[in-house]
Amino acid sequence: MRSILTRSFVLAATLSVKTARADDIAMANSALAGASDTKHIGTAEFPSGCNDVNGGEMAMMNSCLMPFGIMTGEAGKWMVGYQFMHDEMDGSLVGTDDINVSQILKQFPNAPTDMTMDTHMGMVMYAPTQKLTLTAMVPYILKEMNNVNADGSRFVERTSGVGDVELGGSYQIFQTSNVRHQLLLSGGMALPTGAIDKKMDGFQLEYCMQPGSGTVALLPGVTYLGQTAAWSWGADFHTTARLGRNDHNYRFGNIYQSRTWVMRQLGSWLSVSAGLNGVICETIHGADPDLDPSMEQTADSNLQAGKRLDASFGLTFCPMPCCHGRPPCCSAARTFLDGQQVFVEGRLPIIQSLDGPQLQNSWSINVGWQWMF
């Protein structure tokens, strides 16, 4: 996985250099002025059908250069999407140091060796105005964790179910006259729709194996977006702030996430991106009385916090990025692919520091599809 991502970075850099001169010419010739309710750019490098757009439409943000799941300046538009996220965990850390299973088994009767988590996320967005976007997301989560006992025997834990549903929105509080820079405030709420009482063979499963949190959470955040004809960049910060305690007398710790990214359009249908993603997870407050913290690390509420910084690389495929059925732009070239995008992103941790022993993240991959109409 690491070698694949490394080769992808090299390929993206090479393609970026080859197309830089053509994009700079296109940027110089673009009539970046005015505003409208669409976020797509028309430049010399895009399909000829888009040359009919007026100067105001040419100043709007290009959706092929927008991060997955962000929708701005599209009053009256809907967007539906699906995202698949796979996380692979293998081996444990104490702080930043590796610890092997034999060492963990001196402290606990059994220990996890590896774990996978698959999340299927359905998403619906609607923009009642040009500045306001409303969002609903429903996750379905599958988890599997392999364990080993002190006597060498092994067993597998599995669970699945709907996670916590998120309802929220974002509001544009700042935009430059040429629409190259935007600032969005976001907020929302996570509802305790996910289960926290999953069992296997009559025993309560650990914190990390439960699909839900059991508590309401607030979801404040801020996002900055910047864009030119062929480049975009940005940063955001989001928090998951837990409220109260659940029916098992605990609450997960708050989560603080930030990321920065840069994207480069290589043609009218493909963009590449690279970025950094940071996350801080606080410790669990309280403890589940049905879990014995002396049995294994995943049952100890004091061993669930940590920090991680990931490097990411992504590809966005966006056929007919100029259209969305707005005459006269691309009216002759409108297809069933209009408004659709496919996104693929891989992540590798650069550094992790965990309150352990705790399973470390090895790699992640996200695949998403969205359709704006």
For 305-342, what is each residue's pLDDT tens digit?
999 999 999 999 987 544 444 444 444 445 667 889 99
- Asked whether residue 210 carries a pLDDT value surpassing 60, the answer given is yes
As a whole-number percent, the residues of the chain with pLDDT over 70 amount to 79
Domain region containing 347: 2-372
CA–CA separation, 322 and 108 (whole Å): 58
Distance of CA 50 to the CA centre of its chain: 31
pTM of the shown model: 0.82
Token reading at 138: 């429903």
228-242 mean pLDDT:
96
294 CB contacts (<8 Å, ≥6 apart)? 108, 300
- Asked whether residue 53 carries a pLDDT value surpassing 60, the answer given is no
134-146 mean pLDDT:
98
Give the lowest-confidence range in 13-22, 39-48, 180-189, 300-309.
39-48
255-276 mean pLDDT:
95
Q: Give residue 153's pLDDT.
A: 96
Q: Taking phi first (over 0 means left), then psi (-120 to 50 degrees means alpha), and beta for anything else, what does residue 25 get?
A: alpha
CA–CA separation, 230 and 18 (whole Å): 13
For the chain, give me the number of helices (H) and strands (E)?
A: 3, 18
Of the candidates 304, 314, 318, the one whose C-alpha atom is nearest the C-alpha of residue 366 is 314
CA–CA separation, 225 and 230 (whole Å): 14
- Residue 47's pLDDT band (boundaries 50, 70, 90)? very low
* Number of domains forming the structure of the chain: 1
- Asked whether residue 224 carries a pLDDT value surpassing 50, the answer given is yes
Count of Cβ atoms closer than 10 Å to residue 327 Cβ? 10
Token reading at 126: 């609607």
CATH number (domain holding residue 146): 2.40.160.40
- More confident position, 10 or 338: 338
- Asked whether residue 12 carries a pLDDT value surpassing 80, the answer given is no
CA–CA separation, 358 and 298 (whole Å): 7
160 CB contacts (<8 Å, ≥6 apart)? 140, 141, 142, 143, 211
Residues linked to residue 350 through DSSP beta bridges, in sequence order: none
HSE-CB for 222 with a 13 A CA cutoff: 4
Q: Give residue 71's pLDDT.
A: 82
Of the candidates 260, 258, 259, 256, the one whose C-alpha atom is nearest the C-alpha of residue 305 is 256
206 CB contacts (<8 Å, ≥6 apart)? 157, 291, 296, 298, 299
HSE-CB for 112 with a 13 A CA cutoff: 27
As a whole-number percent, the residues of the chain with pLDDT over 90 amount to 73
